[in-house]
Structure formats: C-alpha cells, structure tokens
C-alpha cells in the first residue's frame, strides 16, 4: 500500500477542513460535463469535482484528489461505485475516520 500520499475519508462537511490536502469521498452524481461532475455528498451537501471524469458514470462515484475549496475537489482518480451504495454507512465511516478513531487511519 502506498502510504506516501494518504487521502482522508471526507463527507461534504469535513471537506472544508482539508482544503489543499488530498481527500477521498463518494458522491451521488447529479450532473456532469467534459471537465466536471456535480454531486451530492453523503451528508447531502453539493460537491463540485473537476478534472476528466470517465465517459460513463454510475450513480455513485468515488473521487480522490486535492480539495481546492470547501466544496470542490480536483480529482486524480475516479472510480464508479455502482448504483447501489449505502451512503449512510459511508458517512458514518467519514465521521469515525476523522473523529476519535482518527489514529486508525492513515
């Protein structure tokens, strides 16, 4: 595992803590064009993802990249997460990974 460049699990609200840093999140895709995707975070906030998304997107999408503002990410890695995904669980994971179990995460 590459630990040289860790990415933090974030939801919409946590994103603002990591502006300028590498993050990973899963969004529900609301819309997309050539250079960006607009999605809903697992805590129901709007997130803009810039970069070059894959040509076809599933309902849920994982992106890894640099948080360039409190509601946008410049993505380097795009992964389709399919059409059924438990957003609630993911959101809890984000909270735990940034809360008291932070030490368990890179």
Partner 1 sequence: MENSVTQDGIATVLSNQSLDSSSVRPEIVVQIVDLKAVVNRYTFNANDGKMKIKATLPATLTSDIISGKIQNLGLIRLLAYTVNEIPGKSEEKYMLVTKCEAVAPALDSEIKSESKASTGITLKPKQEFVAKSASQIINEQRGNAAPAARMAMTRRVHPLVSLNPYQGSWTIKVRVTNKGVMRTYKNARGEGCVFNVELTDEEGTQIQATMFNAAAQKFYDIFQTGKVYYISRGSLKLANKQFKTVQNDYELTLSENSEVEEARNEEMFVPEIKFNFVPIDELGAYVNQKELIDVIGVVQSVSPTMSIRRRNDNEMIPKRDITLADESKKTVVVSLWNDLATGLGQELLDMADQHPVIAIKSLKVGDFQGVSLSTISRSNVVINPDSPEATKLKSWYDSEGKETSMSAIGSGMSPSANNGSRSMYADRVCLSHFTSNPSLGEDKPVFFSTRAYISFIKPDQTMWYRACKTCNKKVTEAMDSGYWCEGCQKKDEECSLRYIMAVKVSDSTGETWFSAFNDEAEKIIGCSADELNQLKSEEGEVNEFQTKLKEATWSAHLFRVSVSQQEYNSEKRQRITVKGVSPIDFAAETRLLLQDISKNKTSQ
Residues within the interface to partner 1 (CB under 8 A): 86, 88-89, 92, 96, 100
Return the number of the residue (31 or 99) whose C-beta is nearest partner 1.
99
33's tokens: 């064009």
Question: Shortest Cβ distance from residue 90 to partner 1 (Å)?
Answer: 9
Return the number of the residue (57 or 87) whose C-beta is nearest partner 1.
87
Q: How far apart are the C-alpha atoms of 52 and 101, rounded to whole Å?
A: 33
Give Cα separations from 32 to 26, 35, 38, 79 (angstroms): 15, 8, 6, 15
Question: Shortest Cβ distance from residue 1 to partner 1 (Å)?
Answer: 19
């Amino acid at each position: 595992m590459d630990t040289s460049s860790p990415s933090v699990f974030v939801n919409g609200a946590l994103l603002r803590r990591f502006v300028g840093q590498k993050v990973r999140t899963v969004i529900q895709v609301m819309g997309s064009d050539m250079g960006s995707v607009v999605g809903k975070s697992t805590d129901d906030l709007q997130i803009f993802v810039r970069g070059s998304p894959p040509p076809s997107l599933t309902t849920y999408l994982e992106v890894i990249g640099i948080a360039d503002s409190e509601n946008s990410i410049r993505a380097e890695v795009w992964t389709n997460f399919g059409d059924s995904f438990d957003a609630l669980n993911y959101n809890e994971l984000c909270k735990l990974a940034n809360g008291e179990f932070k030490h368990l995460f890179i």
